[in-house]
Structure 1
């Protein structure tokens, strides 16, 4: 009877407990204040990607860095963005807590965005419209501050959101819906900003044809909104007390173990952590730390994946500047092509999880995490093979940039003699070949050019002190030294001029654009080799309307150019008008020119693709001046008619003709690699280690991205190939090597975790919870892994990993 009574009592207690749990489930409200965290995440991601998406273009075309230097700066910045999460996590866990860390570092983040906006105002450089050293210094400081800000809050925001939900079944369901929204806010912010920021930089402001200041100001404002959104919910947030950081403890135990082993007289213990100070580190903790090292070894090849993956924002964008993005009235900006990655990742995640992986399983090929990652790394190399072939075709459609481009114009019978007897050579007797443009738009013009090279890199000159000498038979006074330096392109325009009743060859040396337009526009150097003050006006015909393309307030001084980087305008059917004055024009109180009747004037006809010499009436959509082309417009005085002048138009580079959508295949392949690598990497790690080690693994995962961007800096600095296509192919080969190493590591990797060691219900050690992951082990750092993955249950017994 007693036994039956005890069984009845236990049954009653169980029923009461079940009822209490059910009641608790029903009374678990949704923490509405997490929407403040979602708003914060959306605005912060917009701010970050809005700035980063145009960063390489800004460094190259506004601040004037060459493409290699711009690439280096971009990847140093990216590396810092993935280093500072370590610092942010330590500060949050050990000192300030998550809420205060997010608030304090967000203000630092906002300061960086403000500095970036200021750096895009050219007038801070002595009031000029051209940026200078001050702009460059402020921009570099701003990038460092932004890296501190975005990295510092990265490990805190998602984890704080996860902390707001109850640990019961209802809370887990609510948590799942929250992170679906969290993931959506990340992608919405990045998608919108990657599309909008390139459009904003195209606006005209501050007396320039671009407006990077507005493009950076909007992200700065959104960052301020992000802070405000977060502060609205501050009083409602639940936060665990500060109790130490597991990553610092792991590093301390590692150091203690290594030092202990070095000092030990007998080294008979199995693992070096067995020599650690066990008064400072518990045996349980040291045992958990041991499971981390095999996974760190598996992470060793991962930086090579991130090195190639992050080139989407640098080299891929620079390749896009050499391609045609014009579709009717719509122009795709080179930096807008980055939007392909978030779009494709949204499409590929469900496709792989629900279709591709199950198909492999059905044919008997188990898609283990290690197999996914191995395949993903091999596919990464394929993406760069595709990129290399695309770049090769770009080379075929784009005439190369030249270190020296001499345009020699003479009138009359002496032209042929001059062409055959003019020489240009360097101090080391490197003789330049003459070049004849089959589509020449001027009579009696001879071109001297260096051998055709590549847009991004060039082998000549090898030193900064190279000099060229231009001379011609019949013109004894013309022995013209030309200084050329690395990362510059020199132009020389020579024309006959009557001096003291004798024809002389007058030459003007100038800096020519070293890069194509970053906006699929036309570039033109407006050259004034005369002693007059000259105004160029370029008129465009489009949609039955005639408009002025150039800034009519810029008058070029004698023997000067408009700007070394060229005047940019949209493709079109154009007419060039030149006005000249002998005396300098005066300005009014507002700094505007007071125009007086010009002494000389001349103009071209409407220049079309089918008739470069010009039509009397404009012809719609018949373009000679296409996107990406570079031209020199020179104006010289007419020796016969003193009231007139002559306009010479010289093409320095062909227009972009290869469609920018040819970049889509390499974006598709690299995104497939991301799904298989990035999404799977953490899933593998967390099934092979204790829950308390999630923070350590997240830290090392972020470090692989940091080291990957450091590798990018190294690859660029050593100049692996003279052409961009060559660099792509070499990177593909390097990635194959890294993938094969990963495959070998996978084959020999051994899962030695005893059954039940990492049971799902294992209690977490207070103060060691990873800020980037929730209580159930789901990855919450969605900005990096792009997906929430449920942990796969461990097998019933210890087995070797089925690679």
Structure 2
């Protein structure tokens, strides 16, 4: 075994002088130290895929509108933007950006590239936070704490006046309140329903805090309180649909192949969820004449909305469809996510490709595989860090979590830049050649001290 050499190139890491492999490995440590936090945070769109179906950015897309011109994009399809941009940006950065920087005389070293990559990824989080703030402005407010929200839907033929504690609303036939009205469940002591020429009736109902309710009224003494069961935006950009039956018999509804079975008289079905687009609605009842139209078409459903369709009996006994909005559709367009994906892609291209190249080129020949394995391990450790931070944060606002990750990555970026400033680059080929030359000299010295005895001829004997 050869003796240990004194690696002068490793003077930036004095404690590791000695064996050639540990020495070069230590010179890499100053740069690799930031890989775990940096690379882990550099993958924000994958941070929760270990425990939920969607990621943070995909979940953000579910609260956005995916209609871009004539193209309709589903929330989970937005992740393909990252892959497409990587394919586009890798050759552009390598063939255009780096040569232009070199022509400007700027020494854009590997560690500088990686620092810029982390900064770009941090900015991607900032852009995501800005987009989230715009989304939050459009989201409906759902009940919290002791709050309960009530919407009144008049499915009768008379005007109705409904009195709540501190509030009174009057509704015409086939109309509803503009939005859900919030009340403290402990103070919601009475609800009175009245109509011209009819006595006042009082609603008796135990409301459960944290939920939304719909008060169906069709006469002062005839009403029904329906628990909505939808206390958040529909997931995956789908649309919640339910039906209210005003017929005196049980009916069933078929919508886009799904069946709402046995909807009793003056009652509402539960919500079912449908993707965007127009849907065919078929009313099924033995009481409806064959001469009546039983096939209807919904409005063009967007993303993340909820609607109540009232099946009303016309004067001729035929059904008619009335649409009421429960939750408005998403209005912020998914195209606004493209800038954050672009910044993220640029960060990945500049950071990850350069990092792999750097760790491989700076490692000694007998440790290149070890460095590559260590690089891949940083992804796992980074995901663990992200999961811990995301799980322990419990942020009431999603944008705050994005800002936290941006701040963490920015801190790592600064630390990494400081560490990189003191890093001494080595040329592994030169070091290996120098090592081989030293080995040859040592072998020659040994041969001079201990010359090999040649074979003795028979004439010398």
TM-score (ref. length: structure 1): 0.44
**2:292 touches 2:319 (CA, 8 Å); kept in 1?**
yes
Cα–Cα, structure 1 residues 289 and 729, in superposed 2: closer, same or farther, change >3 Å? Answer: closer
Distance (whole Å) between structure 1 residues aligned to residue 40 and residue 160 of structure 2: 57
1:287-317 CA-partner distances (Å, limit 9, x unpaired): 5654554344242432443343535961222
Residue equivalent to 1:415: 160
Matches within 5 A, 1:569-648: 569-572=275-278, 578-579=283-284, 596-597=286-287, 625-635=301-311
Q: Displacement, 1:626? A: 2.9
1:325-384 CA-partner distances (Å, limit 9, x unpaired): 235664222222222222222222222222211222222211101100111111111112
1:408-444 CA-partner distances (Å, limit 9, x unpaired): 134588734x24x347xxxxxxxxx99999xx99425
Residue equivalent to 1:492: 213
Distance (whole Å) between structure 1 residues aligned to residue 39 and residue 360 of structure 2: 19
Is structure 2 residue 252 aligned with structure 1 residue 535?
yes
Cα–Cα, structure 1 residues 531 and 405, in superposed 2: closer, same or farther, change >3 Å? Answer: farther
Cα–Cα, structure 1 residues 550 and 470, in superposed 2: closer, same or farther, change >3 Å? Answer: farther
Distance (whole Å) between structure 1 residues aligned to residue 104 and residue 418 of structure 2: 24
Out of 38, 44, 65, the position equivalent to 1:302 is 38
**1:436 touches 1:446 (CA, 8 Å); kept in 2?**
no
Distance (whole Å) between structure 2 residues aligned to residue 394 and residue 306 of structure 1: 23
Out of 63, 72, 77, the position equivalent to 1:322 is 63
Cα–Cα, structure 1 residues 754 and 352, in superposed 2: closer, same or farther, change >3 Å? Answer: closer
Distance (whole Å) between structure 2 residues aligned to residue 436 and residue 624 of structure 1: 30
Equivalent position SS for 1:322: coil
Equivalent position SS for 2:389: helix
Cα–Cα, structure 1 residues 653 and 557, in superposed 2: closer, same or farther, change >3 Å? Answer: closer
Out of 227, 231, 241, the position equivalent to 1:509 is 227
Matches within 5 A, 1:399-478: 399=140, 405-410=149-154, 415-416=160-161, 418-419=162-163, 421-422=164-165, 442-445=174-177, 447-449=179-181, 471-473=190-192, 474-478=200-204
Is structure 2 residue 346 aligned with structure 1 residue 346?
no
**1:415 touches 1:444 (CA, 8 Å); kept in 2?**
no
Residue equivalent to 2:241: 524
Q: Displacement, 1:606? A: 7.4
Residue equivalent to 1:332: 73
**1:435 touches 1:447 (CA, 8 Å); kept in 2?**
no
Distance (whole Å) between structure 2 residues aligned to residue 292 and residue 731 of structure 1: 26
Cα–Cα, structure 1 residues 629 and 503, in superposed 2: closer, same or farther, change >3 Å? Answer: same
Distance (whole Å) between structure 2 residues aligned to residue 467 and residue 317 of structure 1: 38
Out of 273, 294, 297, the position equivalent to 1:567 is 273
Cα–Cα, structure 1 residues 389 and 707, in superposed 2: closer, same or farther, change >3 Å? Answer: same
Cα–Cα, structure 1 residues 395 and 444, in superposed 2: closer, same or farther, change >3 Å? Answer: closer
Out of 96, 99, 105, the position equivalent to 1:358 is 99
Distance (whole Å) between structure 1 residues aligned to residue 234 and residue 116 of structure 2: 37
TM-score (ref. length: structure 2): 0.72
Equivalent position SS for 1:556: strand
**1:537 touches 1:577 (CA, 8 Å); kept in 2?**
yes
Is structure 2 residue 234 aligned with structure 1 residue 556?
no
Residue equivalent to 1:745: 419
**1:392 touches 1:725 (CA, 8 Å); kept in 2?**
yes
Cα–Cα, structure 1 residues 327 and 287, in superposed 2: closer, same or farther, change >3 Å? Answer: closer
Equivalent position SS for 2:309: strand
**1:398 touches 1:655 (CA, 8 Å); kept in 2?**
no
**2:119 touches 2:410 (CA, 8 Å); kept in 1?**
yes
Cα–Cα, structure 1 residues 739 and 450, in superposed 2: closer, same or farther, change >3 Å? Answer: farther
Q: Displacement, 1:532? A: 5.0
Q: Which has the higher helix share?
A: 1
Cα–Cα, structure 1 residues 491 and 550, in superposed 2: closer, same or farther, change >3 Å? Answer: farther
1:640-671 CA-partner distances (Å, limit 9, x unpaired): 98967786533122223333222221111111
**1:402 touches 1:449 (CA, 8 Å); kept in 2?**
no
Could you say which structure has the larger radius of gyration?
2
Greater Cα shift, 380-389 or 402-411: 402-411
**1:628 touches 1:656 (CA, 8 Å); kept in 2?**
yes
Distance (whole Å) between structure 2 residues aligned to residue 322 and residue 641 of structure 1: 41
Distance (whole Å) between structure 1 residues aligned to residue 103 and residue 45 of structure 2: 31
Cα–Cα, structure 1 residues 359 and 657, in superposed 2: closer, same or farther, change >3 Å? Answer: same
Equivalent position SS for 1:627: coil
Q: Displacement, 1:467? A: 8.3
**2:132 touches 2:399 (CA, 8 Å); kept in 1?**
yes
Matches within 5 A, 1:103-142: none
Out of 327, 334, 337, the position equivalent to 1:653 is 327
Give the number of aligned pairs.
406
Is structure 2 residue 167 aligned with structure 1 residue 480?
no
Cα–Cα, structure 1 residues 758 and 478, in superposed 2: closer, same or farther, change >3 Å? Answer: farther
Distance (whole Å) between structure 1 residues aligned to residue 181 and residue 400 of structure 2: 23
Q: Which has the higher strand share?
A: 2
Distance (whole Å) between structure 1 residues aligned to residue 106 and residue 170 of structure 2: 60
Residue equivalent to 1:727: 401
Cα–Cα, structure 1 residues 443 and 525, in superposed 2: closer, same or farther, change >3 Å? Answer: closer
Greater Cα shift, 734-743 or 524-533: 524-533
Is structure 2 residue 460 aligned with structure 1 residue 716?
no
Cα–Cα, structure 1 residues 686 and 624, in superposed 2: closer, same or farther, change >3 Å? Answer: closer
Alignment gaps of 5+ in structure 1: 1-269, 275-282, 424-432, 452-460, 485-489, 539-548, 581-595, 609-622, 763-803
Equivalent position SS for 2:431: coil
1:603-626 CA-partner distances (Å, limit 9, x unpaired): 899789xxxxxxxxxxxxxx5643
Equivalent position SS for 1:482: coil
**2:45 touches 2:58 (CA, 8 Å); kept in 1?**
no
